[in-house]
Amino acid sequence: MTDSSRLCLCLTGPTLESDLRLLEEYRPFIGLAEVRADFLSAGEIASAARLPRLAGLPVILTVRRVRDGGRFAGSESDRVALLRKLAAGGFAFVDLEEDVEAPGLEADIEAGGGRIIRSMHDFSGVPVDLAVRMRRLARSPRELPKAAVMTRGTADLAGLLDAFGELAGTEKVLLGMGDCGFATRVLASRLGSRICYSSPPEASAAPGQADPRTLETLYRFSRIDAGTAVYGVIGNPVMHSLSPSIHNRGFAALGLNAVYLPFLVDDLAAFWTVADSIDIRGISVTAPFKEEVLPALVRRDALVEALGACNTIIRGRGTERGEWEGANTDVEGFLAPLREAFGGAIPRGLRATVIGAGGASRAVVHALSSQGAEVLLLNRTMERAGELARRFPVSAAPLDERAPALAHEYSSLIVQASSAGMEPDAGVDPFPGYQFSGREVVYELIYRPHVTAFLERARRAGCRLVFGEQMLLAQAREQFRLFTGLNLPPEAFGPHRENIHETTP
Ligand code: NAP
């Protein structure tokens, strides 16, 4: 059974015709639409009354004031008159803000067959008394209370989830605006919110709204229910991570009732509360939290101990809520594509150069040392390279004009593990002085862009290439197994699959 009835498309076009075009484009994914009459041009605004007849699904009427994040700049009496006139058009819902005082307006709306959504908006954060205010919002049992509040950070999301808990079992619309509140949109049905508002990617009606196609095809919105297992990736930044695409495709292909979300985190302590509130089952960890999560782990695998970094967290088996076990899949994620590049086995005694000494290099250097490779580590900041050289058996040198000559001595494999060349600085080449001979295997960790400037030079020289996406997929494969006990199916590779075929020598 699917439930798309709560997914609402916000129509913010300047004309009725443009709104109807949008509606047709997204119709397969949505259950209702909201016409934002405040976005219609002055000449078109009256035509909003025709939408309920033309739409073929329930429509919400909203005329939002500027102070509530809308565009209606006229007087309140003009707005009330407009609402009264439009409401006769047969809208399923009419949105009225909590402070609206217009004698007879509610009765007129109900006479037209509409139900009132009584809404409050807070762009400054999540009020501490949100649940209390929500309970007082509806003026009659027929009204549907709605709060849209800004989640400025993880602590706000934790507060909002508390309000969801206090309001469990009551009919409501509750959502967190902004990227930190993204989970409250995707999990609307699991959390008990009657409507999830969405917009086309190019015309977001409110901060943090996703588009209906992404919600349905990537997150399988209409299938999420109380039993859906939640997984996610924490990081900062994280909203453009490819991991949701990989894991959600995997869940879908196996028919698992599970969803994987990005969690933009600015406060790890608050995130643990969020994880318990939503009962998150497993977490991928990306920069800058791979070390910061360590104290929260009740058990760590040997690689987490060796690296001092964790990229995968699962609920402890047979432990209390809030107890987490940590693993590291970056090492195997790095090694699996390397084995492939060397035809199945990495030769012993490989002489390798690694560029960069950040978090990713740690896994790379550990992986190469475990294979008996001799490693030259080059970094812009020598101090950081020195720290790694004290922990692992590698030679360290600065990434300066003398580095190319040194690297030619360690050139069976060149690993680019710095963030130089990553979008938006795609043109940057971290090692322009190095001339490829064409005999090197060149491994780039960056996966955005797919081909960095550094990798393009290596490709032109005829080197064998390993792409960042290959490592990303290989480490995700290990994570998926830890999360579900199952193998990541090939469908999970989605659009990335072709890249891998194109790039594997
Ligand atoms: P990090 O901890 O922030 O370290 C960044 C490294 O890049 C540092 O060594 C830094 O040198 C160096 N760097 C930055 N800008 C530079 C420049 N203009 N020239 C030379 N060196 C520069 O980052 P990280 O977590 O190690 O990640 C590094 C890259 O690997 C990122 O692009 C990340 O997306 C990618 N990654 C990919 C995967 C995958 O699965 N494919 C996994 C993990 C990471 P200083 O010390 O001098 O600042």
- Residue 195 phi/psi, 5-degree rounding, is -135, 140
26 and 168 housed in the same domain: yes
151 and 22 housed in the same domain: yes
Q: Is the pLDDT of residue 295 over 80?
A: yes
Residue 75 pLDDT class (50, 70, 90 cuts): very high
417 C-beta closer than 6 A to ligand 1: yes
Residue 204 pLDDT class (50, 70, 90 cuts): confident
pLDDT value at position 472? Answer: 95
pLDDT value at position 504? Answer: 37
Q: Is the pLDDT of residue 2 over 70?
A: no
| Cα dihedral across residues 334, 336, 339, 343: positive or negative | negative
Q: Is the pLDDT of residue 281 over 50?
A: yes
Q: What is the DSSP string of 66-127?
A: GGGTS-B-S-HHHHHHHHHHHHTTT-SEEEEETT---TTHHHHHHHTT-EEEEEEEESS---
Identify any residues that bridge with 415 across adjacent strands, giving them in sequence order.
Answer: 354, 443
Q: Higher-confidence residue: 220 or 500? A: 220
Mean pLDDT across 349-358: 96
Residue 242 covered by a domain: no
Distance between CA atoms of 265 and 269, rounded to whole angstroms? Answer: 10
Mean pLDDT across 358-362: 92
Query: Distance from the CA of 309 to the center of ligand 1, in angstroms?
Result: 15
Query: Distance from the CA of 390 to the center of ligand 1, in angstroms?
Result: 19
Q: Is the pLDDT of residue 498 over 50?
A: no
| Alpha carbon 286 to its chain's center | 12
User: Whose alpha carbon is nearest atom 6 of ligand 1?
Assistant: 418
Residue 487 covered by a domain: no
User: Whose alpha carbon is nearest atom 46 of ligand 1?
Assistant: 381
Nearest atom of ligand 1 to the alpha carbon of 470 = 41
Residue 290 annotated among the catalytic residues of the structure: yes
Taking phi first (over 0 means left), then psi (-120 to 50 degrees means alpha), and beta for anything else, what does residue 177 get?
beta
Q: Which of 191, 224, 257 is the last residue of a domain?
A: 224
pLDDT value at position 503? Answer: 39
pLDDT tens digit sequence for 153-168: 999 999 999 999 999 9
Pairing of strands 324-327, 312-315: antiparallel
200 and 337 housed in the same domain: no
User: Whose alpha carbon is nearest atom 16 of ligand 1?
Assistant: 420
450 C-beta closer than 6 A to ligand 1: no
Q: Is the pLDDT of residue 47 over 90?
A: yes
363 C-beta closer than 6 A to ligand 1: no
Residue 125 pLDDT class (50, 70, 90 cuts): very high
Compute the C-alpha angle 471/473/475, nearest 5°: 70
398 sits in which H/E element? strand 395-398
Edge-first strand order for the sheet with 395-398 is 395-398, 374-379, 351-355, 413-416, 441-444, 464-466
20 and 140 housed in the same domain: yes
pLDDT value at position 318? Answer: 62
User: Whose alpha carbon is nearest atom 7 of ligand 1?
Assistant: 418
* Domains contained in the chain, number: 2
User: Whose alpha carbon is nearest atom 48 of ligand 1?
Assistant: 381
Of 401, 419, 475, 493, the one to substitute when testing ligand 1's pocket (max ligand atoms within 8 A of C-beta) is: 419
Q: What is the CATH number of the domain that holds 203?
A: 3.20.20.70
Residue 160 covered by a domain: yes
Residue 322 pLDDT class (50, 70, 90 cuts): low
The one catalytic residue among 85, 146, 172, 290: 290
- Please give the mean pLDDT across all residues of the chain: 94
50 and 187 housed in the same domain: yes
Residue 291 covered by a domain: no
Q: Is the pLDDT of residue 1 over 60?
A: no
497 C-beta closer than 6 A to ligand 1: no
Residue 321 pLDDT class (50, 70, 90 cuts): low
Query: Distance from the CA of 492 to the center of ligand 1, in angstroms?
Result: 26
Share of the chain above pLDDT 70, in %: 96
353 C-beta closer than 6 A to ligand 1: no
Q: Which of 176, 204, 224 is the last residue of a domain?
A: 224
pLDDT value at position 31? Answer: 96
Query: Distance from the CA of 454 to the center of ligand 1, in angstroms?
Result: 14
Residue 431 covered by a domain: yes
Helix H, strand E, coil C: the string for 285-349 is ECCCCCCCCHHHEEEECHHHHHHCCCCEEEECCCCCCCCEEEECCHHHHHHHHHHHHCCCCCCCC
377 C-beta closer than 6 A to ligand 1: no
Query: Distance from the CA of 416 to the center of ligand 1, in angstroms?
Result: 9
- Domain extent, residue 382, equals 331-473
337 C-beta closer than 6 A to ligand 1: no
pLDDT value at position 133? Answer: 98
pLDDT value at position 495? Answer: 63
pLDDT value at position 206? Answer: 77
pLDDT tens digit sequence for 363-392: 999 999 999 999 999 999 999 999 999 999
pLDDT tens digit sequence for 95-121: 999 999 999 999 999 998 999 999 999
pLDDT value at position 502? Answer: 37
Residue 443 covered by a domain: yes
Residue 403 covered by a domain: yes
Query: Distance from the CA of 356 to the center of ligand 1, in angstroms?
Result: 6
Q: What is the CATH number of the domain that holds 411?
A: 3.40.50.720
Nearest partner of 229 among 181, 275, 296, 176, judged by Cα: 275
pLDDT value at position 168? Answer: 97
pLDDT tens digit sequence for 224-247: 999 999 999 999 999 999 999 999
Mean pLDDT across 29-45: 96
pLDDT value at position 500? Answer: 45
What number of H helices and E strands is found in the chain?
A: 19, 20
Residue 245 covered by a domain: no
472 C-beta closer than 6 A to ligand 1: yes
pLDDT value at position 501? Answer: 37
217 and 349 housed in the same domain: no
